[in-house]
Amino acid sequence: MIDFRSDTVTQPSLAMRKAISEAMVGDDVYGDDPTVNELELWAAERHGFEAAMFCSSGTQANLLALMSHCERGDEYLCGQQAHNYQFEGGGAAVLGSIQPQPIENEKDGTLCFKKLAAAIKPDDPHFARTKLLSIENTINGKVLPLAYLQKARGFVDQHDLKLHLDGARVYNASVALDVDITEITQHFDSMTICLSKGLGAPIGSLVLGDSTLIRKARRWRKVLGGGMRQAGILAAAGKIALTENVDRLRHDHANAKYLAQKLTNIEGFNVNIEHVTTNMLFANVDSAIDQLQIVKELKGEEILISAGNPMRLVTHLDISRDDIDVFIAALKKAVE
Ligand SMILES: *Cc1c(COP(=O)(O)O)cnc(C)c1O
């Protein structure tokens, strides 16, 4: 299968499978799993945080960060397009009694500080208590500028808020900017990273922050049923994701650009190539094109895409240049 639906579909490499089979493990709820402990210590230091915790998913990691920053009746500011507002089942509200305060994202994915400031509530029993600003990088494949992150830090300091990064794809941002990851992470009080997307691990995410925050998060993780036992078999693959699969993200980015160029040559498909800076592209598709029929035909050729307008296509470590050529040829045929 050539699968463009998401970078979550990546298969663990041989090196990961080997590390999984050889990992030393213990009961992580007791703090006894050496492979998990090693990953958490390494990840905290690598990203400039006091502590880190391995979790089952990005959704859980974001929820734990939100629930550790905010109490019942608090709120977090975020984008309308934020994953931890739109696509996590309303978890912060459902399970944390935390109110989201979404703000329309600007075209480049950023949030306007004027609009954010206007949404901060005064200290008054009528209102939820504004505690946190949560931003996302990359957001829908877009990289937030470093200068913007610095401004966000200044903004939260000025307003006595905390700053969280949903960094599910933060390494796509650092690779696209060609900067060390700490150029991004230095501005944040907490951060989450997905190991199971473009980095290629089968399962797992990290939440990072100061020791107090991570202690709280560890408690909530247990409450949410996320205390895992011999989780070292997953952490072993996660470590490889972070040490061996970062630099190669640049190939995914180049492939996405290549795909965008090929796609715009097909009648009815339109991509703004300049907007393709990481591993994701969004194509506007002519409404005369029967997308569901095309999805079906491509599936017959062992190619998976998701219908949508814009149509989202994602490159990752299991998609090569040749795969893209195969897809483009099949798509041309299907459109005709
Ligand atoms: C995928 C994703 C998540 C959630 O990760 P899961 O592991 O799928 O739960 C959170 N935030 C962003 C930006 C994501 O892309």
How does pLDDT run across 125-177, given as a tens digit for each residue? Answer: 999 999 999 999 999 999 999 999 999 999 999 999 999 999 999 999 999 99
pLDDT at position 336 is: 87
Query: Measured from the CB, is residue 195 less than 6 Å from ligand 1?
Result: no
Q: Do residues 240 and 254 both lie within one domain?
A: no
Query: Measured from the CB, is residue 168 less than 6 Å from ligand 1?
Result: yes
Taking the whole predicted model, whether its pTM rises above 0.85 is answered as yes
Number of structural domains the chain divides into? 2
Where a domain ends, among 191, 220, 244?
Answer: 244
Residue of minimum CA distance from atom 8 in ligand 1: 58
Q: Is the residue at 3 inside a domain?
A: no
Where a domain ends, among 244, 260, 291?
Answer: 244
Q: Is the residue at 5 inside a domain?
A: no
Rounded to the nearest angstrom, the distance between the alpha carbon of 297 and the centre of ligand 1 is 29
Rounded to the nearest angstrom, the distance between the alpha carbon of 230 and the centre of ligand 1 is 23
Q: How far apart are CA 81 and CA 84, in angstroms?
A: 9
Domain with residue 287: its CATH number is 3.90.1150.10
Q: How far apart are CA 240 and CA 190, in angstroms?
A: 22
- Which domain covers residue 70, as residue numbers? 12-244
Rounded to the nearest angstrom, the distance between the alpha carbon of 176 and the centre of ligand 1 is 19
Q: Is the residue at 279 inside a domain?
A: yes
Rounded to the nearest angstrom, the distance between the alpha carbon of 146 and the centre of ligand 1 is 22
Q: Do residues 64 and 190 both lie within one domain?
A: yes
On whether the CB atoms of residues 40 and 54 are closer than 8 A, the answer is: yes
Rounded to the nearest angstrom, the distance between the alpha carbon of 89 and the centre of ligand 1 is 12
Summarize pLDDT for 13-49 with one digit per residue, the tens: 999 999 999 999 999 999 999 999 999 999 999 999 9
Where a domain ends, among 244, 273, 305?
Answer: 244
Query: Measured from the CB, is residue 58 less than 6 Å from ligand 1?
Result: yes
pLDDT at position 61 is: 98
Q: Do residues 273 and 232 both lie within one domain?
A: no
| CA neighbor of 66 nearest in space, from 43, 49, 91 | 91
On whether the CB atoms of residues 198 and 244 are closer than 8 A, the answer is: no
Best of 9, 10, 59, 135 for a ligand 1 pocket test (most atoms within 8 Å of beta carbon): 59
With 0-12 CB in 10 A as exposed, 13-18 as middle and 19+ as buried, what is 1?
Answer: exposed
The list of the chain residues with pLDDT below 50 reads: none
| CA neighbor of 162 nearest in space, from 121, 200, 130, 202 | 130
pLDDT at position 50 is: 98
Query: Measured from the CB, is residue 199 less than 6 Å from ligand 1?
Result: no
| Atom nearest to 138 CA in ligand 1 | 13
Q: Is the residue at 7 inside a domain?
A: no
Q: Do residues 46 and 163 both lie within one domain?
A: yes
Residue in the block written with tokens 């079906």: 296
